[in-house]
Amino acid sequence: MLKHFITNNHRFKPADPEYQQVYLINGMLLGMIVIFTFFFFVNLAFFSLYSVALLDFIAAALAATLLRRFQLSNNVRQGANHTVLLLGGFLIGYLCFAAPHFYALYWLCIFPPLAFFLLGRGRGLIATAVFMGLLTLLLVWRSASWPAASFSVESLLNVALASICLVILVHYYEVSRFEVLRALATQHRQLQRLSVTDTLTGLFNRSKLDEILSQEIARSIRHQSPFSVILADLDFFKAVNDNFGHMAGDQVLIAFAGIMQQHCRELDVAGRWGGEEFLVVCPHTDLAGAKLLAERIRIAVETHDFVHGKQLTVSLGIASFIRDDNANTMLKRADDALYRAKAKGRNRVEM
């Protein structure tokens, strides 16, 4: 029940970047309802503080209204603004009605952390500065009517210095947290990129190609649109490794990956299938369109000057999606076409 409440009917998940804000907004508003309602009855029944009790009642009603609105709208930015505004307004009103009693100052320390946590570093600092400015004006305005034995200069200075220190600490914490989160986000993006990338060529790896193939098959079935695949294999690549070493072989693979990236269209997806085999997924492309692309790649390889000074060629097999196809059957036809290209003398395209 509580998890259902704090996640706004499970609309926010723990992995969402706004989850902690949602958790804090709901917790603060619910806490305000409970605390303000409690003090409404206490101030009314035991202390006869009618003005403070009225303030507690209004604050509890506003907190309940804002909580209901936030649960329905799921607008995190608006909910954060409303929560901070309600707390700031209540604290200023509380100091106005409860002063010159010293306990009225105790509650002021909760505003800066909440403002920073909900609004972030920049807006939190602005909100805290405005809040402290309004408190200063209130204290200056009301101090003339307070008894001499109310707030002493020493107590006010201590509260002011403690508040400044609290703001600095919370701001430092938010800056540190932001830097850590940014570093973690950067590392996460790098790990995601590495998990789908072939480290040698920079193209997608086989795992990512499998995922893209599944997506394209589902899209083709849903929209009845064609797509094709091109399976490419460098001819006599083993001889490069045997005669010139694996470093030269790696340079050949990198150069071939560059040729594929250069000649593929923006919608095509090229990747390393394994060893010297590469796969190109061609969305919205029939056999004729895939053959044109394969021929461009074949000619570019044939005329490219590789680092070891020898010319290389590539054989390519093409298959287009047909009804009841899956990734295995489609790739099997492309592999059969590639085998025929090898059998017919290499450096050619077969469909």
Q: Which residues are catalytic?
A: 276
What is the 8-class DSSP label of residue 252?
A: H
Please check whether residue 26 is in contact with residue 67, taking contact to mean a CB–CB distance below 8 angstroms: yes
Cα–Cα–Cα angle for 71, 74, 79, nearest 5°? 85
Which residue, chain included where needed, has tokens 């409303």?
82
* Token couple for 106: 């105790």
- Spatial CA neighbour of 282 closest among 272, 273, 274, 270: 270
- Alpha-carbon gap, residue 197 to 203, rounded angstroms: 6
* DSSP letter for each residue of 41-57: HHHHHTS--HHHHHHHH
∠ Cα 99 102 106 (to 5°): 105
3-state secondary structure of 27: helix
Q: Which of 274, 286, 287, 290 is nearest to 210 (CA)?
A: 274
Nearest-angstrom CA–CA distance, 167 and 163: 6
284 closest CA partner among 225, 343, 222, 199: 225
Region at 235 (left for phi over 0; alpha for psi -120 to 50; beta for the rest): beta
